[in-house]
Amino acid sequence: MLGVGGGIAAYKACEVLRGLTESGHDVRVVPTEAALNFVGAATFEALSGHPVHTGVFTEVPEVQHVRVGREADLVLVVPATADLLARAAHGLANDLLTSTLLTARCPVAFFPAMHTEMWEHPATRDNVALLRSRGVIVTEPDSGRLTGKDTGKGRLADPQEIVDLARLLLAEPRALPRDLEGLRVVISAGGTREPLDPVRYLGNRSSGKQGYALARVAAQRGAEVTLVAAHTVALPDPAGVDVRHVSTAAELRTAVHEAAKQADVVVMAAAVADFRPANRADYKIKKSDDQPDPVISLDRNPDILAELVQNRLPGQIIVGFAAETGDERGSVLDHARVKFRRKGSDLLVVNAVGEGKAFEVEDNAGWLLSADGAERPIPLGSKAQLAAAMWDSVVALTKR
């Protein structure tokens, strides 16, 4: 079920609806009366293929609020206005949406959007805390452009991010507990680029999707997140995350070490170039018939993960990633075990890569190796599911 509140961001609920129906989900839309000032019922009916009502006095024999609430596998509220959060927190049931919220027994997730002052008001803070204390998910809004020319915290999370989190909750209803509250985490993501000349570089095929999923899930589990992002495919900045964009391995190294000084957890999900061209040409390298073809010589880049392990703060948890293909000398897991010993991190997330696996795809599978010798397989699932599994292991380590 997709509840829609009466805020300007209601138009983005259409994109969320589209994303959910396109991935095969059957969605009932329940807007508030106010939401229909922003988007007409016909739009929601056309996109969902179901009739749309706002009150409990239509189709009375169907007892809609009970039926919709009982049948739903997931309730999303997009956008959640301050008024809706208040009504939900206090159990009001004065329209179809709030009545349904009381009958739903599945996970319920609110995606807030409002002006910064409204989000920060003690009344809203208390309502959010009350809802969260009951296990209801209230996600962090994004920062950025609000309704008019103003900017600040209170912007609706990107629709793609909402669809992603919805898929996660449908697969794992308990994937977003607020168990990272008070933790500062640093995540590196994407692939670095090492310039050869002003127009060419050595790069890799990392999309950044796994690192972004880690950041998104950590932020929604309550962590304070810094995301050091090298090159990625076009991805929206995760809501509530401090994103720092970098390009080369050297820039990524500086940004990660700087952020790691205050971090409780550092996760190296970025695909960092092991080598960089020894010389960067100031001008575009030209081919020429009377000169020999150029030969590129490479210098080794520092191993950032190894440096982090060496300089770790007391109690700091460090997580590495390993992308392996396996070869005649050993399987993916054999190579990963050797790498884990060499790197000395607390956890190693192992992905099998190559032909359609891990890089540039939506789903991921692998293993989670822990320093105590445990090897936990991660079944094929979305990158958000892998992220949730990794954060579960990190939480277990914080309780040692």
Minimum CB separation from ligand CTP for residue 208, in Å? 12
Minimum CB separation from ligand CTP for residue 198, in Å? 24
Is residue 204 among the annotated active site residues?
yes
Residue 16 engages ligand CTP in binding (rule: CB under 6 A): no
Q: Between 145 and 205, name the residue whose CB sits nearer to ligand CTP.
A: 205
Residue 101 engages ligand CTP in binding (rule: CB under 6 A): no
Residue 183 engages ligand CTP in binding (rule: CB under 6 A): no
Residue 321 engages ligand CTP in binding (rule: CB under 6 A): yes
User: Burial of 216 by CB count in 10 Å (0-12 exposed, 13-18 middle, 19+ buried)?
Assistant: buried
H-assigned helices in 23-121: 41-48, 64-71, 82-89, 96-103, 116-120
Give the phi and the psi of residue 32 in degrees, each rounded to 5: -85, 165
Residues 79-98 as x/- pattern, contact with ligand CTP by CB under 6 A: --------------------
Q: Which stretch binds ligand CTP (CB under 6 A): 5-13, 218-226, 302-310, 357-365?
A: 302-310
Of 268, 400, 275, nearest to 340 by C-alpha is 268
List 204, 301, 351, 364, catalytic entry: 204
Residue 268 engages ligand CTP in binding (rule: CB under 6 A): yes
* Amino acid, res. 345: S
Q: Which stretch binds ligand CTP (CB under 6 A): 10-18, 51-59, 210-218, 301-309?
A: 301-309
Torsion sign over Cα 177, 181, 185, 188: positive
Contacts by 365-374 with C-beta closer than 8 Å and gap 24+? Answer: 367/333, 367/336, 368/393, 369/336, 369/337, 369/340, 370/346, 370/397, 371/345, 371/346, 371/347
Tokens of 143: 């920062």
Site size toward ligand CTP, by CB under 6 A: 13
Q: Between 150 and 299, name the residue whose CB sits nearer to ligand CTP.
A: 299
Residue 323 engages ligand CTP in binding (rule: CB under 6 A): yes
Q: Which residues, 6 or more positions from 110, have their beta carbon under 8 angstroms from its beta carbon? A: 77, 80, 84, 85, 88, 131, 136, 137, 138, 139
Residue 100 engages ligand CTP in binding (rule: CB under 6 A): no
Active site residues: 204
Q: Which residues bind ligand CTP (CB under 6 A)?
A: 249, 268, 270, 272, 274, 301, 303-305, 320-323
